[in-house]
Chains A and B, each alone.
Chain A
Amino acid sequence: MQEMMKARAKELLASGEVTRVIGWKKNEFDYDITPALFESAEEIDHDFVYDDFCGPNLSKFTFQHQKNDTKTLVFLKPCDSYSMTQLITEHRVNREALYLIGVPSYGKIDVEKIKADGMTGILSIKSEDGDVHVHTLYGDKTYAKYEVTSERCLNCKSKKHPIYDELMGFEGEVMENERFDEVAKLEAMTPEERFEFWRGELSRCIRCNACRNACPACTCETCIFDNPNSGVDQKAAKDTFEENMFHIIRAFHVAGRCTDCGECSRVCPQHIPLHLLNRKFIGDINKFYGTYQAGEEVGQRAPLTNFTKEDVEPDIVAKGGKV
Chain B
Amino acid sequence: MQKIGVFVCHCGTNIAGTVDVKAVAEALGKEPGVVFSAEYPYMCSEAGQNLIKNAIKEYGLTGIVVCSCSPRMHEATFRKTAAAAGLNSYMVEIANIREQCSWIHKDIKVATEKAIVLGRTAIAKVALNAPLTASESPVVKRALVIGGGIAGIQTALDIADAGYEVDLVEKEPTIGGKMAQIDKTFPTLDCAACILTPKMVDCAQNEKIHIYAYSEVEKVKGFVGNFTVSIKKKARFVDETKCTGCGVCTEKCPQKKTPNLFNLGLDTRSAIYIPFAQAIPKVATIDADYCNMLKNGKCGVCSKVCAAGAIDYKQQDQIIEQQYGAIVVATGFNPIKLDGYDEFAYNESPDVVTSLELERLMNAAGPNGGTLLRPSDKTHPHTIVFVQCVGSRDTTDCGKPYCSKICCMYTAKHAMLIRDKYPDTEVYVFYIDVRTPGKNFDEFYRRAVEEYGVHYIKGMVGKVMPQPDGKLLVRGADLLMNEQILINADMVVLAAAIEPDKSARPLATMLTASMDTNDFFTEAHPKLRPVESPTAGIFLSGVCQGPKDIPETVAQASACAAKVIGLLAKDKLLSNPCVAHSDENLCNGCSSCEKVCPYGAITYVDKEFRMPDRTTKIRRVASVNAAVCQGCGACTVACPSGAMDLSGFSNKQIMAEVDAICR
Complex Cα gap A222–B595 (Å): 21
Q: Is the CB of B588 within 8 A of A92?
A: yes
- A-chain residues with CB within 8 Å of residue B591 when the two chains form the complex: 90-91
Q: Which of B590, B620, B642 interacts with A224 by CB under 8 Å? A: B642
B551 in the interface (beta carbon within 8 A): no
Complex Cα gap A305–B638 (Å): 7
B568-615, CB < 8 A from A? 585-592, 595-596, 604
Complex Cα gap A220–B590 (Å): 9
Q: Is the CB of A224 within 8 A of B588?
A: no
- B-chain residues with CB within 8 Å of residue A227 when the two chains form the complex: 586, 642
Q: Is the CB of A220 within 8 A of B640?
A: yes
Q: Is the CB of A91 within 8 A of B642?
A: no
- A-chain residues with CB within 8 Å of residue B619 when the two chains form the complex: 221
Q: Which of A90, A92, A221, A304 interacts with B585 by CB under 8 Å? A: A221
Closest to B128 in A: A231
Complex Cα gap A271–B71 (Å): 51
B655 in the interface (beta carbon within 8 A): yes
**A233–chain B nearest beta-carbon distance, Å:** 10
Q: Is the CB of A220 within 8 A of B595?
A: no
Q: Is the CB of A90 within 8 A of B590?
A: yes
**A151–chain B nearest beta-carbon distance, Å:** 27
Contact A90 B588, CB 8 Å, known A68-B618, A231-B651: yes
Q: Which of A219, A232, A305 interacts with B655 by CB under 8 Å? A: A232
- A-chain residues with CB within 8 Å of residue B640 when the two chains form the complex: 220, 224, 253-254
- B-chain residues with CB within 8 Å of residue A219 when the two chains form the complex: 588
- A-chain residues with CB within 8 Å of residue B618 when the two chains form the complex: 68
Closest to A223 in B: B641
Complex Cα gap A68–B615 (Å): 13
B502 in the interface (beta carbon within 8 A): no
Complex Cα gap A221–B607 (Å): 14
B652 in the interface (beta carbon within 8 A): yes
**B128–chain A nearest beta-carbon distance, Å:** 9
Closest to B640 in A: A253
Complex Cα gap A90–B622 (Å): 12
- B-chain residues with CB within 8 Å of residue A253 when the two chains form the complex: 640
- A-chain residues with CB within 8 Å of residue B588 when the two chains form the complex: 90, 92, 219-221
- B-chain residues with CB within 8 Å of residue A223 when the two chains form the complex: 641
Complex Cα gap A79–B620 (Å): 26
- A-chain residues with CB within 8 Å of residue B655 when the two chains form the complex: 231-232
B643-663, CB < 8 A from A? 643, 651-652, 655
Complex Cα gap A301–B592 (Å): 9
- A-chain residues with CB within 8 Å of residue B595 when the two chains form the complex: 301-302, 305-306
What does DSSP make chain A's interface, helix, strand, loop or mixed?
Answer: loop
**A173–chain B nearest beta-carbon distance, Å:** 30
A230 in the interface (beta carbon within 8 A): yes
Complex Cα gap A218–B305 (Å): 74
- Range, interface on chain B: 20 to 34
- A-chain residues with CB within 8 Å of residue B585 when the two chains form the complex: 221-222
**A84–chain B nearest beta-carbon distance, Å:** 15
Complex Cα gap A223–B589 (Å): 14
Closest to B589 in A: A91
Q: Is the CB of A221 within 8 A of B586?
A: yes
Closest to A227 in B: B642
Complex Cα gap A305–B591 (Å): 10
**A198–chain B nearest beta-carbon distance, Å:** 23
Complex Cα gap A222–B640 (Å): 10
**B603–chain A nearest beta-carbon distance, Å:** 13
- B-chain residues with CB within 8 Å of residue A301 when the two chains form the complex: 595
Q: Which of B587, B638, B641, B652 interacts with A304 by CB under 8 Å? A: B638
Q: Is the CB of B590 within 8 A of A221?
A: no
- B-chain residues with CB within 8 Å of residue A68 when the two chains form the complex: 618
Per-residue CB proximity of A205-234 to B under 8 Å, as 1/0? 000000000000001111110010111100
Per-residue CB proximity of A286-307 to B under 8 Å, as 1/0? 0000000000000001101110
**A92–chain B nearest beta-carbon distance, Å:** 7
Contact A222 B590, CB 8 Å, known A230-B651, A305-B596: no
Complex Cα gap A306–B596 (Å): 7
**A313–chain B nearest beta-carbon distance, Å:** 17
Contact A220 B596, CB 8 Å, known A91-B589, A227-B586, A231-B655: no
Complex Cα gap A221–B595 (Å): 20
Q: Is the CB of B586 within 8 A of A91?
A: no
**B13–chain A nearest beta-carbon distance, Å:** 40
Q: Is the CB of B586 within 8 A of A302?
A: no
**A152–chain B nearest beta-carbon distance, Å:** 23
Complex Cα gap A170–B590 (Å): 32
**A104–chain B nearest beta-carbon distance, Å:** 30
Complex Cα gap A229–B586 (Å): 11
Contact A231 B652, CB 8 Å, known A220-B640, A221-B641: yes
**B596–chain A nearest beta-carbon distance, Å:** 5
**A154–chain B nearest beta-carbon distance, Å:** 30
Q: Is the CB of B587 within 8 A of A221?
A: yes
Complex Cα gap A231–B587 (Å): 17
**A172–chain B nearest beta-carbon distance, Å:** 29
**B298–chain A nearest beta-carbon distance, Å:** 43
- B-chain residues with CB within 8 Å of residue A304 when the two chains form the complex: 592, 638
Closest to A67 in B: B617
- B-chain residues with CB within 8 Å of residue A221 when the two chains form the complex: 585-588, 619, 641, 643
A229-281, CB < 8 A from B? 229-232, 253-254
Closest to B643 in A: A221
Q: Is the CB of A91 within 8 A of B590?
A: yes
Closest to B654 in A: A231
**A26–chain B nearest beta-carbon distance, Å:** 29
Closest to A219 in B: B588
- B-chain residues with CB within 8 Å of residue A231 when the two chains form the complex: 651-652, 655
Contact A305 B592, CB 8 Å, known A68-B618, A91-B620, A222-B585: yes
Complex Cα gap A302–B591 (Å): 10
Complex Cα gap A254–B592 (Å): 12
Closest to A230 in B: B642
Complex Cα gap A306–B595 (Å): 8
Complex Cα gap A64–B655 (Å): 32
**A296–chain B nearest beta-carbon distance, Å:** 17
Q: Which of B586, B590, B652 interacts with A92 by CB under 8 Å? A: B590
Beyond known contacts A68-B618, A90-B592, A232-B655: 6 more, CB 8 A cutoff: A91-B589, A91-B590, A221-B586, A229-B652, A231-B652, A306-B595
> Could you show 12 A-B contacts with beta carbons less than 8 Å apart?
A90-B588, A90-B591, A91-B589, A92-B589, A220-B641, A221-B587, A221-B641, A224-B640, A253-B640, A254-B640, A305-B595, A305-B638
**Among all A-B residue pairs, the 10 with the closest Cβ atoms:** A305-B595, A220-B641, A90-B590, A253-B640, A224-B642, A231-B652, A230-B642, A91-B589, A231-B655, A305-B596
